Structure 1
Amino acid sequence: MQKAVEIERNGMTLRGMLHVPDNKKGKVPLTIMFHGFTGNKLESHFIFVKQSRALEKAGIASLRFDFLGSGESDGDFKNMTLSGELEDAEAILEYAKSLDFVDQEKIFVLGISMGGAVASMLAGLHNDDIAALCLWAPAGNMPDIIRQRLCELKFSVEDIDIEYYDLDGFLLGRGFIEDICKIDIYGKASGYKKDVFILHGNKDMTVPLSASHRYLDVYGDRGRLHVVDGADHTFNKKEWEEEVISKTTRYLTSY
Protein backbone atom coordinates (compact mmCIF):
# COMPACT_ATOMS: atom_id res chain seq x y z
CA MET A 1 0.00 0.00 0.00
CA GLN A 2 1.28 3.43 -0.95
CA LYS A 3 -0.29 6.76 -0.01
CA ALA A 4 0.58 10.46 0.12
CA VAL A 5 1.12 11.96 3.58
CA GLU A 6 1.78 15.46 4.94
CA ILE A 7 3.44 17.02 7.98
CA GLU A 8 3.17 20.61 9.15
CA ARG A 9 6.34 22.37 10.32
CA ASN A 10 6.70 26.08 11.05
CA GLY A 11 3.51 26.84 9.15
CA MET A 12 4.65 24.95 6.05
CA THR A 13 3.81 21.53 4.67
CA LEU A 14 6.24 18.68 4.12
CA ARG A 15 4.82 16.30 1.49
CA GLY A 16 5.81 12.68 1.30
CA MET A 17 4.91 9.12 0.47
CA LEU A 18 4.23 6.27 2.89
CA HIS A 19 4.66 2.64 1.87
CA VAL A 20 3.17 -0.12 4.07
CA PRO A 21 3.40 -3.88 3.37
CA ASP A 22 0.07 -5.26 2.15
CA ASN A 23 0.37 -8.37 4.29
CA LYS A 24 1.06 -6.36 7.46
CA LYS A 25 0.32 -8.26 10.66
CA GLY A 26 0.90 -6.39 13.89
CA LYS A 27 3.74 -3.90 14.22
CA VAL A 28 6.20 -3.51 11.32
CA PRO A 29 9.66 -1.94 10.93
CA LEU A 30 9.89 1.39 9.09
CA THR A 31 12.67 3.08 7.13
CA ILE A 32 12.85 6.87 6.79
CA MET A 33 14.54 7.98 3.54
CA PHE A 34 16.22 11.36 2.96
CA HIS A 35 16.96 12.69 -0.53
CA GLY A 36 20.07 14.57 -1.61
CA PHE A 37 20.96 18.15 -2.51
CA THR A 38 18.62 19.40 -5.32
CA GLY A 39 16.92 15.98 -5.21
CA ASN A 40 13.45 14.91 -4.15
CA LYS A 41 11.56 11.94 -2.69
CA LEU A 42 11.83 10.03 -5.99
CA GLU A 43 15.58 10.52 -6.43
CA SER A 44 17.57 9.84 -9.61
CA HIS A 45 16.07 7.18 -11.91
CA PHE A 46 13.38 6.69 -9.22
CA ILE A 47 15.80 4.72 -7.03
CA PHE A 48 13.98 5.76 -3.84
CA VAL A 49 10.66 4.52 -5.22
CA LYS A 50 12.26 1.22 -6.18
CA GLN A 51 13.91 0.90 -2.77
CA SER A 52 10.61 1.61 -1.00
CA ARG A 53 8.84 -1.06 -3.04
CA ALA A 54 11.63 -3.57 -2.37
CA LEU A 55 11.34 -2.89 1.37
CA GLU A 56 7.56 -3.17 1.16
CA LYS A 57 7.91 -6.66 -0.33
CA ALA A 58 10.33 -7.54 2.46
CA GLY A 59 7.81 -6.51 5.13
CA ILE A 60 9.30 -3.08 5.94
CA ALA A 61 7.32 0.15 5.70
CA SER A 62 9.01 3.35 4.51
CA LEU A 63 8.60 7.12 4.48
CA ARG A 64 10.19 9.39 1.89
CA PHE A 65 9.58 13.14 2.04
CA ASP A 66 10.62 16.21 0.09
CA PHE A 67 12.50 18.58 2.38
CA LEU A 68 11.05 22.09 2.63
CA GLY A 69 12.03 24.02 -0.50
CA SER A 70 12.43 20.84 -2.56
CA GLY A 71 10.08 18.74 -4.66
CA GLU A 72 6.42 19.22 -3.77
CA SER A 73 6.95 20.50 -0.23
CA ASP A 74 6.31 24.14 0.66
CA GLY A 75 9.06 26.74 0.70
CA ASP A 76 11.68 28.07 -1.72
CA PHE A 77 14.94 26.29 -2.42
CA LYS A 78 16.95 29.48 -1.87
CA ASN A 79 15.78 29.50 1.77
CA MET A 80 16.94 25.92 2.36
CA THR A 81 19.75 25.24 4.85
CA LEU A 82 21.35 22.06 6.14
CA SER A 83 20.19 22.91 9.67
CA GLY A 84 16.68 23.36 8.31
CA GLU A 85 16.78 19.96 6.64
CA LEU A 86 17.93 18.43 9.93
CA GLU A 87 14.90 20.03 11.61
CA ASP A 88 12.69 18.62 8.84
CA ALA A 89 14.23 15.21 9.51
CA GLU A 90 13.47 15.48 13.21
CA ALA A 91 9.84 16.31 12.41
CA ILE A 92 9.66 13.31 10.08
CA LEU A 93 11.13 11.06 12.77
CA GLU A 94 8.51 12.24 15.25
CA TYR A 95 5.80 11.56 12.68
CA ALA A 96 7.15 8.05 12.12
CA LYS A 97 7.10 7.40 15.87
CA SER A 98 3.45 8.51 15.99
CA LEU A 99 2.27 5.85 13.52
CA ASP A 100 0.47 3.13 15.48
CA PHE A 101 1.53 0.28 13.19
CA VAL A 102 5.26 1.02 13.49
CA ASP A 103 7.53 -1.11 15.68
CA GLN A 104 9.23 1.61 17.75
CA GLU A 105 12.26 -0.64 18.26
CA LYS A 106 12.81 -0.98 14.51
CA ILE A 107 12.93 2.48 12.98
CA PHE A 108 15.73 2.72 10.41
CA VAL A 109 17.15 5.72 8.56
CA LEU A 110 18.56 5.87 5.03
CA GLY A 111 20.02 8.89 3.24
CA ILE A 112 21.77 9.63 -0.04
CA SER A 113 24.42 12.32 -0.58
CA MET A 114 23.51 15.40 1.50
CA GLY A 115 20.52 13.40 2.70
CA GLY A 116 23.10 10.93 3.99
CA ALA A 117 24.76 13.76 5.93
CA VAL A 118 21.34 14.68 7.36
CA ALA A 119 20.64 11.03 8.22
CA SER A 120 23.98 10.64 9.97
CA MET A 121 23.44 13.77 12.08
CA LEU A 122 19.87 12.77 12.92
CA ALA A 123 21.09 9.37 14.10
CA GLY A 124 23.83 11.01 16.14
CA LEU A 125 21.28 13.22 17.88
CA HIS A 126 18.62 10.52 18.32
CA ASN A 127 20.61 7.37 18.97
CA ASP A 128 17.89 5.73 21.08
CA ASP A 129 15.20 6.16 18.40
CA ILE A 130 17.09 4.70 15.43
CA ALA A 131 17.85 0.98 15.27
CA ALA A 132 20.10 1.00 12.18
CA LEU A 133 21.56 3.50 9.73
CA CYS A 134 22.25 3.13 6.01
CA LEU A 135 24.13 5.80 4.04
CA TRP A 136 24.49 6.03 0.25
CA ALA A 137 27.46 8.16 -0.89
CA PRO A 138 27.03 10.34 2.22
CA ALA A 139 28.24 13.92 1.82
CA GLY A 140 29.81 14.43 5.22
CA ASN A 141 32.25 16.70 3.39
CA MET A 142 29.46 18.96 2.10
CA PRO A 143 31.12 22.19 3.36
CA ASP A 144 34.21 21.35 1.27
CA ILE A 145 32.07 20.59 -1.79
CA ILE A 146 30.26 23.93 -1.52
CA ARG A 147 33.49 25.89 -1.13
CA GLN A 148 34.93 24.19 -4.21
CA ARG A 149 31.79 24.83 -6.26
CA LEU A 150 31.77 28.52 -5.31
CA CYS A 151 35.42 28.77 -6.27
CA GLU A 152 34.58 27.36 -9.70
CA LEU A 153 31.92 30.08 -10.03
CA LYS A 154 34.50 32.66 -8.94
CA PHE A 155 32.63 33.41 -5.71
CA SER A 156 33.70 32.93 -2.13
CA VAL A 157 31.99 32.52 1.22
CA GLU A 158 33.16 36.07 1.99
CA ASP A 159 31.07 37.62 -0.83
CA ILE A 160 28.62 39.08 1.68
CA ASP A 161 26.73 41.25 -0.83
CA ILE A 162 25.46 38.28 -2.84
CA GLU A 163 21.94 37.16 -1.90
CA TYR A 164 22.10 33.84 -3.73
CA TYR A 165 24.23 31.78 -6.11
CA ASP A 166 22.79 30.35 -9.32
CA LEU A 167 23.79 26.67 -9.46
CA ASP A 168 22.44 25.33 -12.75
CA GLY A 169 19.10 27.03 -12.15
CA PHE A 170 18.93 26.22 -8.44
CA LEU A 171 19.14 29.44 -6.44
CA LEU A 172 21.33 28.63 -3.45
CA GLY A 173 20.78 31.22 -0.75
CA ARG A 174 23.57 32.86 1.18
CA GLY A 175 21.98 31.50 4.36
CA PHE A 176 22.83 27.99 3.20
CA ILE A 177 26.50 28.92 2.77
CA GLU A 178 26.75 30.62 6.15
CA ASP A 179 24.97 27.74 7.88
CA ILE A 180 26.84 24.81 6.36
CA CYS A 181 30.26 26.31 7.05
CA LYS A 182 29.48 26.27 10.77
CA ILE A 183 28.35 22.63 10.99
CA ASP A 184 30.60 19.75 11.96
CA ILE A 185 28.72 16.97 10.18
CA TYR A 186 31.07 14.19 11.24
CA GLY A 187 31.10 15.46 14.81
CA LYS A 188 27.29 15.38 15.05
CA ALA A 189 27.24 11.93 13.43
CA SER A 190 29.62 10.54 16.05
CA GLY A 191 26.82 10.35 18.62
CA TYR A 192 25.37 7.29 16.88
CA LYS A 193 26.56 4.12 18.62
CA LYS A 194 24.84 1.39 16.59
CA ASP A 195 25.50 -0.34 13.28
CA VAL A 196 26.02 1.68 10.11
CA PHE A 197 26.12 0.34 6.54
CA ILE A 198 27.60 2.62 3.86
CA LEU A 199 27.42 2.11 0.08
CA HIS A 200 29.56 4.24 -2.22
CA GLY A 201 30.70 4.07 -5.83
CA ASN A 202 34.45 4.18 -6.42
CA LYS A 203 33.95 6.40 -9.49
CA ASP A 204 31.90 9.01 -7.65
CA MET A 205 33.01 12.41 -8.98
CA THR A 206 30.64 14.39 -6.74
CA VAL A 207 31.35 13.01 -3.27
CA PRO A 208 34.68 11.15 -3.22
CA LEU A 209 34.94 7.74 -1.62
CA SER A 210 37.22 9.33 0.98
CA ALA A 211 34.13 10.97 2.53
CA SER A 212 32.84 7.52 3.46
CA HIS A 213 36.25 6.49 4.79
CA ARG A 214 36.01 9.47 7.13
CA TYR A 215 32.68 8.10 8.35
CA LEU A 216 34.39 4.78 9.04
CA ASP A 217 36.91 6.66 11.18
CA VAL A 218 33.96 8.10 13.12
CA TYR A 219 32.06 4.82 13.55
CA GLY A 220 34.98 2.45 14.05
CA ASP A 221 34.03 -1.22 14.04
CA ARG A 222 30.33 -0.29 14.06
CA GLY A 223 30.63 0.89 10.43
CA ARG A 224 30.82 -1.23 7.30
CA LEU A 225 31.52 0.05 3.78
CA HIS A 226 30.42 -1.66 0.56
CA VAL A 227 32.11 -0.23 -2.52
CA VAL A 228 30.05 -0.43 -5.72
CA ASP A 229 32.67 -1.03 -8.38
CA GLY A 230 32.59 1.53 -11.20
CA ALA A 231 29.53 3.34 -9.85
CA ASP A 232 28.97 7.09 -9.99
CA HIS A 233 27.38 9.28 -7.33
CA THR A 234 23.75 8.21 -7.71
CA PHE A 235 24.30 4.69 -9.10
CA ASN A 236 23.03 5.58 -12.57
CA LYS A 237 23.17 2.14 -14.13
CA LYS A 238 20.81 -0.81 -13.78
CA GLU A 239 23.40 -3.17 -12.30
CA TRP A 240 24.62 -0.56 -9.78
CA GLU A 241 21.07 0.33 -8.81
CA GLU A 242 20.12 -3.32 -8.29
CA GLU A 243 23.25 -3.95 -6.23
CA VAL A 244 22.51 -1.00 -3.94
CA ILE A 245 18.83 -1.87 -3.49
CA SER A 246 19.59 -5.55 -2.88
CA LYS A 247 22.38 -4.87 -0.36
CA THR A 248 20.31 -2.24 1.46
CA THR A 249 17.22 -4.45 1.66
CA ARG A 250 19.29 -7.36 2.95
CA TYR A 251 20.94 -5.17 5.58
CA LEU A 252 17.68 -3.74 6.89
CA THR A 253 15.79 -7.04 6.89
CA SER A 254 18.58 -8.49 9.05
CA TYR A 255 17.05 -6.43 11.86
Structure 2
Amino acid sequence: MQKHVRIQWKGHHLAATIHYPAEWTDQEKNARYPLVVICHGFIGSRVGVNRLFYKAAQELAEDRYVVIRFDYAGCGESDGDYGQTGLDDFIDQTNHVIDFGLQLNGVDADQLVLLGHSLGGAVASWIAANDSRVKKLILWAPVGQPYKDIVAIVGEKEVEKLKQKAFIDYMGYQLTSRFFRSLSLYHPLKEASRFQGDVIILHGTNDEDISAEYCLRYDSVFQTREKGTCEKRLIAEANHTFSSCVGQRDLFSETKRWLAAVLKRETRKKVV
Protein backbone atom coordinates (compact mmCIF):
# COMPACT_ATOMS: atom_id res chain seq x y z
CA MET A 1 0.00 0.00 0.00
CA GLN A 2 1.24 3.48 -0.90
CA LYS A 3 0.16 6.93 0.23
CA HIS A 4 1.30 10.22 -1.31
CA VAL A 5 1.74 13.09 1.15
CA ARG A 6 3.12 16.64 1.28
CA ILE A 7 5.41 17.56 4.16
CA GLN A 8 5.81 21.19 5.16
CA TRP A 9 9.27 22.76 5.17
CA LYS A 10 9.85 26.53 5.46
CA GLY A 11 6.79 27.44 3.41
CA HIS A 12 7.42 24.74 0.81
CA HIS A 13 5.79 21.38 0.29
CA LEU A 14 8.05 18.35 0.05
CA ALA A 15 6.48 15.58 -2.02
CA ALA A 16 6.74 12.19 -0.34
CA THR A 17 5.42 8.67 -0.70
CA ILE A 18 4.85 6.28 2.18
CA HIS A 19 5.01 2.53 1.56
CA TYR A 20 3.29 0.34 4.14
CA PRO A 21 3.58 -3.41 4.76
CA ALA A 22 0.73 -5.36 3.19
CA GLU A 23 -0.80 -6.19 6.58
CA TRP A 24 -0.72 -2.58 7.86
CA THR A 25 -4.01 -0.89 8.80
CA ASP A 26 -4.83 2.45 10.47
CA GLN A 27 -6.57 0.54 13.22
CA GLU A 28 -3.51 -1.54 14.07
CA LYS A 29 -2.75 0.18 17.37
CA ASN A 30 -0.34 -2.34 18.87
CA ALA A 31 1.82 -3.12 15.84
CA ARG A 32 5.17 -1.39 15.56
CA TYR A 33 7.08 -1.40 12.28
CA PRO A 34 10.63 -0.12 11.68
CA LEU A 35 10.81 3.08 9.63
CA VAL A 36 13.17 3.54 6.67
CA VAL A 37 13.70 7.06 5.28
CA ILE A 38 15.34 7.19 1.83
CA CYS A 39 17.56 10.17 0.92
CA HIS A 40 18.12 10.61 -2.82
CA GLY A 41 21.24 12.11 -4.37
CA PHE A 42 22.36 15.17 -6.33
CA ILE A 43 19.58 16.55 -8.58
CA GLY A 44 17.71 13.27 -8.09
CA SER A 45 14.19 12.38 -7.03
CA ARG A 46 12.30 9.96 -4.82
CA VAL A 47 11.71 7.69 -7.84
CA GLY A 48 15.38 7.28 -8.71
CA VAL A 49 17.13 6.33 -11.94
CA ASN A 50 15.40 3.26 -13.38
CA ARG A 51 12.93 3.53 -10.44
CA LEU A 52 15.65 2.55 -7.95
CA PHE A 53 14.00 4.04 -4.87
CA TYR A 54 10.48 3.03 -5.84
CA LYS A 55 11.62 -0.58 -6.20
CA ALA A 56 13.67 -0.42 -2.99
CA ALA A 57 10.67 0.87 -1.05
CA GLN A 58 8.49 -1.92 -2.43
CA GLU A 59 11.07 -4.54 -1.48
CA LEU A 60 11.46 -3.21 2.06
CA ALA A 61 7.71 -2.89 2.60
CA GLU A 62 7.44 -6.58 1.70
CA ASP A 63 9.83 -7.23 4.59
CA ARG A 64 7.49 -5.37 6.97
CA TYR A 65 9.11 -1.93 7.00
CA VAL A 66 7.32 1.39 6.68
CA VAL A 67 9.28 3.35 4.06
CA ILE A 68 9.25 7.05 3.20
CA ARG A 69 10.90 8.28 0.03
CA PHE A 70 10.77 12.03 -0.66
CA ASP A 71 11.95 14.75 -3.03
CA TYR A 72 14.28 17.42 -1.72
CA ALA A 73 13.08 20.98 -2.34
CA GLY A 74 13.37 21.84 -6.04
CA CYS A 75 13.58 18.17 -7.08
CA GLY A 76 10.90 15.83 -8.37
CA GLU A 77 7.49 17.12 -7.36
CA SER A 78 8.62 19.26 -4.41
CA ASP A 79 8.36 23.05 -4.29
CA GLY A 80 11.42 25.27 -4.29
CA ASP A 81 14.65 25.93 -6.18
CA TYR A 82 17.30 23.25 -5.64
CA GLY A 83 20.23 25.48 -6.58
CA GLN A 84 19.25 28.11 -4.02
CA THR A 85 19.45 25.60 -1.16
CA GLY A 86 22.44 23.76 0.27
CA LEU A 87 23.51 20.69 2.18
CA ASP A 88 22.39 22.31 5.42
CA ASP A 89 18.90 22.52 3.92
CA PHE A 90 19.01 18.87 2.82
CA ILE A 91 19.81 17.93 6.41
CA ASP A 92 16.99 20.11 7.73
CA GLN A 93 14.50 18.72 5.19
CA THR A 94 15.47 15.17 6.07
CA ASN A 95 14.95 15.93 9.75
CA HIS A 96 11.46 17.25 8.96
CA VAL A 97 10.68 14.01 7.13
CA ILE A 98 12.02 11.97 10.07
CA ASP A 99 9.83 13.98 12.48
CA PHE A 100 6.82 13.33 10.24
CA GLY A 101 7.56 9.61 9.90
CA LEU A 102 8.06 8.97 13.59
CA GLN A 103 4.60 10.38 14.29
CA LEU A 104 2.87 7.87 12.01
CA ASN A 105 0.66 5.25 13.65
CA GLY A 106 2.33 1.86 13.73
CA VAL A 107 5.91 3.12 13.49
CA ASP A 108 8.48 2.00 16.06
CA ALA A 109 10.36 5.16 17.04
CA ASP A 110 13.23 3.02 18.32
CA GLN A 111 13.81 1.42 14.91
CA LEU A 112 14.69 4.30 12.59
CA VAL A 113 16.81 3.43 9.55
CA LEU A 114 18.34 6.02 7.20
CA LEU A 115 19.13 4.94 3.65
CA GLY A 116 21.17 7.39 1.61
CA HIS A 117 22.39 7.22 -1.98
CA SER A 118 25.25 9.32 -3.37
CA LEU A 119 24.97 12.88 -1.95
CA GLY A 120 22.02 11.56 0.04
CA GLY A 121 24.50 9.13 1.59
CA ALA A 122 26.58 12.05 2.86
CA VAL A 123 23.42 13.64 4.28
CA ALA A 124 22.32 10.37 5.92
CA SER A 125 25.78 9.74 7.36
CA TRP A 126 26.01 13.23 8.86
CA ILE A 127 22.53 12.99 10.40
CA ALA A 128 23.21 9.53 11.81
CA ALA A 129 26.36 10.88 13.49
CA ASN A 130 24.44 13.76 15.06
CA ASP A 131 20.95 12.38 15.78
CA SER A 132 20.57 9.58 18.33
CA ARG A 133 17.17 8.65 16.91
CA VAL A 134 18.90 6.95 13.97
CA LYS A 135 19.62 3.31 14.84
CA LYS A 136 20.79 1.87 11.52
CA LEU A 137 22.46 3.36 8.47
CA ILE A 138 22.45 2.09 4.88
CA LEU A 139 24.83 3.81 2.45
CA TRP A 140 24.57 3.20 -1.28
CA ALA A 141 27.52 4.63 -3.28
CA PRO A 142 27.92 7.45 -0.74
CA VAL A 143 29.63 10.76 -1.38
CA GLY A 144 32.51 11.16 1.06
CA GLN A 145 33.69 14.71 0.32
CA PRO A 146 30.62 16.69 -0.79
CA TYR A 147 32.35 19.73 -2.26
CA LYS A 148 35.13 17.86 -4.04
CA ASP A 149 32.85 15.11 -5.34
CA ILE A 150 30.07 17.34 -6.68
CA VAL A 151 32.53 19.80 -8.25
CA ALA A 152 34.13 16.85 -10.03
CA ILE A 153 30.73 15.91 -11.46
CA VAL A 154 29.74 19.44 -12.49
CA GLY A 155 33.23 20.43 -13.67
CA GLU A 156 35.78 22.74 -12.07
CA LYS A 157 35.69 25.17 -15.00
CA GLU A 158 31.92 25.48 -14.71
CA VAL A 159 32.09 26.16 -10.97
CA GLU A 160 34.80 28.79 -11.59
CA LYS A 161 32.21 30.76 -13.60
CA LEU A 162 30.38 31.52 -10.36
CA LYS A 163 33.02 34.18 -9.68
CA GLN A 164 31.36 36.25 -12.42
CA LYS A 165 27.86 34.73 -12.61
CA ALA A 166 24.91 34.44 -10.21
CA PHE A 167 24.46 30.78 -11.12
CA ILE A 168 25.59 28.06 -13.48
CA ASP A 169 23.22 25.89 -15.47
CA TYR A 170 23.74 22.19 -14.81
CA MET A 171 21.21 19.79 -16.30
CA GLY A 172 18.56 22.51 -16.06
CA TYR A 173 19.30 23.33 -12.41
CA GLN A 174 20.57 26.81 -11.52
CA LEU A 175 23.36 26.10 -9.05
CA THR A 176 24.55 29.07 -6.98
CA SER A 177 27.67 29.88 -4.97
CA ARG A 178 25.60 29.32 -1.84
CA PHE A 179 24.97 25.72 -2.95
CA PHE A 180 28.67 24.93 -3.39
CA ARG A 181 29.74 26.87 -0.31
CA SER A 182 27.39 24.76 1.81
CA LEU A 183 28.97 21.57 0.46
CA SER A 184 32.39 22.71 1.63
CA LEU A 185 31.22 23.02 5.23
CA TYR A 186 30.38 19.34 5.75
CA HIS A 187 32.78 16.42 6.15
CA PRO A 188 30.70 13.24 6.66
CA LEU A 189 33.75 10.95 6.61
CA LYS A 190 35.14 12.77 9.65
CA GLU A 191 31.77 12.76 11.41
CA ALA A 192 31.00 9.10 10.72
CA SER A 193 32.80 7.71 13.76
CA ARG A 194 30.29 9.41 16.05
CA PHE A 195 27.45 7.16 14.89
CA GLN A 196 26.92 4.32 17.37
CA GLY A 197 24.57 2.13 15.34
CA ASP A 198 24.96 -0.59 12.71
CA VAL A 199 25.99 0.27 9.15
CA ILE A 200 26.18 -1.34 5.73
CA ILE A 201 27.96 0.28 2.79
CA LEU A 202 27.25 -0.91 -0.76
CA HIS A 203 29.07 0.42 -3.82
CA GLY A 204 29.28 -0.60 -7.46
CA THR A 205 32.72 -1.53 -8.80
CA ASN A 206 31.97 0.36 -12.04
CA ASP A 207 30.75 3.56 -10.39
CA GLU A 208 31.58 6.31 -12.89
CA ASP A 209 30.67 9.26 -10.62
CA ILE A 210 31.70 8.47 -7.05
CA SER A 211 34.75 6.29 -6.47
CA ALA A 212 34.16 2.89 -4.88
CA GLU A 213 37.18 3.79 -2.73
CA TYR A 214 34.68 5.51 -0.44
CA CYS A 215 33.25 2.13 0.47
CA LEU A 216 36.62 1.27 1.98
CA ARG A 217 37.20 4.70 3.52
CA TYR A 218 33.81 4.82 5.25
CA ASP A 219 34.29 1.27 6.49
CA SER A 220 37.71 2.16 7.86
CA VAL A 221 36.19 5.01 9.90
CA PHE A 222 33.24 2.98 11.15
CA GLN A 223 35.53 0.15 12.23
CA THR A 224 37.27 2.46 14.71
CA ARG A 225 34.16 2.73 16.89
CA GLU A 226 33.71 0.91 20.15
CA LYS A 227 29.98 0.47 19.51
CA GLY A 228 28.12 -0.47 16.33
CA THR A 229 28.98 -2.89 13.52
CA CYS A 230 29.81 -2.16 9.89
CA GLU A 231 29.69 -4.30 6.77
CA LYS A 232 30.86 -3.35 3.30
CA ARG A 233 29.98 -4.96 -0.02
CA LEU A 234 31.15 -4.16 -3.54
CA ILE A 235 28.51 -4.93 -6.17
CA ALA A 236 30.32 -6.39 -9.19
CA GLU A 237 30.06 -4.29 -12.37
CA ALA A 238 27.31 -2.05 -10.96
CA ASN A 239 27.39 1.64 -11.89
CA HIS A 240 26.58 4.64 -9.69
CA THR A 241 22.81 4.19 -9.92
CA PHE A 242 22.88 0.37 -9.98
CA SER A 243 21.16 0.59 -13.37
CA SER A 244 21.05 -3.05 -14.34
CA CYS A 245 18.80 -5.92 -13.37
CA VAL A 246 21.69 -7.81 -11.81
CA GLY A 247 23.05 -4.73 -10.04
CA GLN A 248 19.68 -3.89 -8.50
CA ARG A 249 19.02 -7.49 -7.56
CA ASP A 250 22.33 -7.75 -5.71
CA LEU A 251 21.88 -4.34 -4.09
CA PHE A 252 18.43 -5.19 -2.74
CA SER A 253 19.29 -8.70 -1.66
CA GLU A 254 22.40 -7.56 0.25
CA THR A 255 20.47 -4.74 1.91
CA LYS A 256 17.62 -7.00 2.97
CA ARG A 257 19.98 -9.76 4.13
CA TRP A 258 21.84 -7.30 6.32
CA LEU A 259 18.66 -5.84 7.83
CA ALA A 260 17.37 -9.32 8.65
CA ALA A 261 20.70 -10.31 10.23
CA VAL A 262 20.85 -7.16 12.37
CA LEU A 263 17.25 -7.66 13.51
CA LYS A 264 17.99 -11.29 14.40
CA ARG A 265 21.05 -10.27 16.38
CA GLU A 266 19.07 -7.63 18.28
CA THR A 267 16.33 -10.15 19.08
CA ARG A 268 18.90 -12.56 20.49
CA LYS A 269 20.34 -9.83 22.74
CA LYS A 270 16.88 -9.05 24.11
CA VAL A 271 16.25 -12.72 24.90
CA VAL A 272 19.59 -13.03 26.69
The TM tier, using the shorter chain, reads over 0.9
**Larger CA deviation: 25-34 vs 148-157:** 148-157
Aligned partners of 2:153 and 2:209 also within 8 Å: no
| Structure 1 segment 64-213 matched on structure 2, within 5 A | 64-126=69-131, 128-149=132-153, 151-156=155-160, 159-213=162-216
Aligned partners of 1:162 and 1:174 also within 8 Å: no
Map Cα deviations across residues 1-23 of structure 1 (whole Å, 9 max, x no partner): 10101211111111100011121
Q: CA 1:153/1:168 → structure 2, altered by over 3 Å: closer, same or farther?
A: farther
Match of 1:247? Answer: 254
Secondary structure at the aligned position of 1:70 is classed as: coil
When the two chains are superposed, the root-mean-square deviation of aligned CA atoms in Å is 1.7
Q: CA 1:113/1:63 → structure 2, altered by over 3 Å: closer, same or farther?
A: same
Letter in 2 for 1:139: V
**Larger CA deviation: 166-175 vs 90-99:** 166-175
What percent identity do the matched residue pairs reach?
29
State the alpha-carbon separation in 2 of the partners of residues 12 and 240 from structure 1. 35
Aligned partners of 1:122 and 1:189 also within 8 Å: no
**Larger CA deviation: 223-232 vs 16-25:** 16-25
State the alpha-carbon separation in 2 of the partners of residues 9 and 151 from structure 1. 31
In the alignment of these two chains, the number of paired residues is 253
Give the gaps of 5 or more residues in structure 1.
none
Q: CA 1:203/1:106 → structure 2, altered by over 3 Å: closer, same or farther?
A: same
TM-score by length of 1: 0.93
**Larger CA deviation: 211-220 vs 79-88:** 211-220
Letter in 1 for 2:102: K
State the alpha-carbon separation in 2 of the partners of residues 178 and 152 from structure 1. 14
Q: CA 1:154/1:100 → structure 2, altered by over 3 Å: closer, same or farther?
A: closer
Give the gaps of 5 or more residues in structure 2.
264-272
TM-score by length of 2: 0.88
Q: 1:227 aligns with which of 217, 234, 237?
A: 234
State the alpha-carbon separation in 2 of the partners of residues 230 and 132 from structure 1. 26
Q: 1:56 aligns with which of 58, 61, 73?
A: 61
State the Cα distance separating 1:188 from its structure 2 match: 3.0
